[in-house]
A = this chain, B = another copy of it.
Amino acid sequence: MVWFTEYQTENVGLTIKAKEVKTINSKYQEIIVLDTEEFGKVLVLDGAVQTTEKDEFMYHEMLVHPALIKHPQPQRVLIIGGGDGGSVREALKHKSVEEVHLCEIDEEVIFVSEKYFPSISSKLRDEKVKIFIEDGNQFLEERKNYYDVIIMDSSDPIGPAEVLFQESFYKKVKSSLRKNGIMVAQTESPFLQEKYFKNAVKEIKKVFKYVGVYTGFVPTYPAGMWSYTLASDDVNVLDNVNKDRLDNIETKYIDEYLYTNLFAIPKFIKNMIE
Contact = CB atoms under 8 A, between A and B. Distances in A.
B11 A14 contact: no
Contacts of A5: 15
Interface in A171-230: 191-192, 215-217, 219, 223-225
Interface residues of A, number: 43
A57 B13 CA distance: 22
A15 B17 contact: no
Number of copies of this chain that the complex holds: 2
Contact of A255 (B58, B191, B257, B267): B267
Contacts of A16: 11-13
A37 to B, nearest CB: 4
Interface stretch (A75-83, A106-114, A246-254): A246-254
Contact of A264 (B17, B39, B257, B266): B257
Q: Which 8 A-B pairs have the closest CB atoms?
A: A224-B224, A261-B264, A219-B223, A13-B15, A261-B261, A11-B38, A255-B267, A11-B17
22 contacts: A3-B13, A10-B17, A11-B16, A12-B14, A12-B15, A12-B39, A57-B268, A58-B266, A191-B217, A192-B219, A217-B223, A219-B223, A219-B224, A219-B225, A224-B224, A253-B268, A254-B266, A257-B263, A257-B264, A258-B264, A260-B264, A261-B264
Interface of A: 3, 5, 9-17, 36-39, 55, 57-58, 191-192, 215-217, 219, 223-225, 251-255, 257-258, 260-261, 263-268, 270
